[in-house]
Amino acid sequence: MILEITRQTFSQLHSQRMLASIAISGTALSIFLIMVVVMIQDVKTASFSPESRRDRFLHANAGSITTNLDDLPVSDNLYESNGSISYQTAMEQFGKLKTPEAVTIYSTSVSSYVASLPGRPSTGIETRATDGNFWKVFDFTFISGKPFTQADFEAASPLAVLSESAARRIFGSADVAGQSFEVNHLPYRVSGVVKDVSTLADHAYAAMWLPMTTTSDFIDTWMNGWMGRCAVTILAKDASDFDKIRSEYEKRVEEMNKSMRSEGWKFITRNRPYTQAKDSILKSANIEPDEDADRRQRWIVYLILLIVPAMNMNGMTESRLRQRVEEIGVRRAFGCSRRQLFLQLLWENLVVTVAAGVIGWLLSVVFAYMCSSFIFSSPMYSASPTIDISVLLNVSTFLWALLFCFVLNLLSTGIPSFRASRTNVVNALKGHQQ
């Protein structure tokens, strides 16, 4: 039955090419627009190298410190600071946690460092300062050499890991592990070379990575050494450990606040650390991200993008069904119930919607891949973002497309199909839709 209805649907589309082309192109455009919006959000949480374990990540990109102590009057609550924390604070709050698989501390943002070879022009390289655990949390692909270790970090060894493109810019080759060069006019040695990292991996991205102990990010602090230039990413053994990790972190902060009490300060956790999804909507260090509000906002956008084309398609569906009034009358005369007729008409239109939706989805994938340089661009980085096609062709985006097709079908064809199924048999046979 379903195959027969599907064949009839495509036969009718072939006989009504103008209406069919308008219906399919309109639906495809609607799904295309929605899927581009979905993909822009999806790449913020989808797992891909070197952030292929995002489902187990917790992030703390900032800290909040205040004079708001419980035993002081409100008038004495003079100051609150929100921003990156120092390495010492990060170690005290996160570095001693027992539950996670690994914890890494690294510079909050990339900085431009000058790299050069003797007698050659220097070049600016986007650089991130890290600890040795950075390579345990993020899964880079090394094509030459190896990462520097935690022991190298503690010893402040002048080592560097380069991206493939950075290595070629400096040395003219990617196989340069062990070779020496200068960073900000100081001697360094290449520990390893990794495949280029997309700017979409915003926690791991850089073109060069240095031990933080060899940079100013390690000692550049303020607020009695509590605030600085560091961020933290935690790799949990399992996502089910998130609450336990937060609880352990809260206890660490409480202990730290006790020692700070005599100086009149304390840290506010703001429910940190955040999951990848929550961290992706972080706008300010002093405001906890509201996932529910962000989700509602996105659904409103999706609904608008669905309702507008649905209203236009509703009229076209009504027009197509008016041309089939006599056929509907014959079906009813031969015993087809109103329920069967309604479901058949709904299925016919669902076939059209899904076919157009697949076209729209494929167009959105091609568009997002070809135009990633401006769709996914970030003002934080000078490099253009790159994206693996597999990230756009994942199961979740396809299921989203099917869901939107189904909803769009109900919105655009539900009422016309219901009205057609309620048509009086005698009037339908006469060609009147009453």
pLDDT in tens for each of the 434 residues of the chain?
556 656 666 566 566 666 667 777 877 888 888 888 888 888 899 899 999 999 999 999 999 998 855 555 544 556 788 999 999 999 999 999 999 999 999 999 999 999 999 888 899 999 999 999 999 999 999 999 999 999 999 999 999 999 999 999 999 999 999 999 999 999 999 999 999 999 999 999 999 999 999 999 999 999 989 999 999 999 999 999 999 999 999 999 999 999 888 888 899 999 999 999 999 999 889 999 999 999 999 889 888 887 877 776 666 666 666 655 556 656 656 566 667 767 677 777 777 778 888 888 889 889 988 888 778 877 677 677 778 777 777 777 777 777 777 777 677 776 666 666 555 554 544 444 55
CA atoms of 210 and 205, how far apart (whole Å): 13
Residues facing residue 230 across a β-bridge: 85, 107
CB 103 within 8 Å of CB 240: no
pTM: 0.83
> Positive or negative CA dihedral for 65, 92, 61, 112?
positive
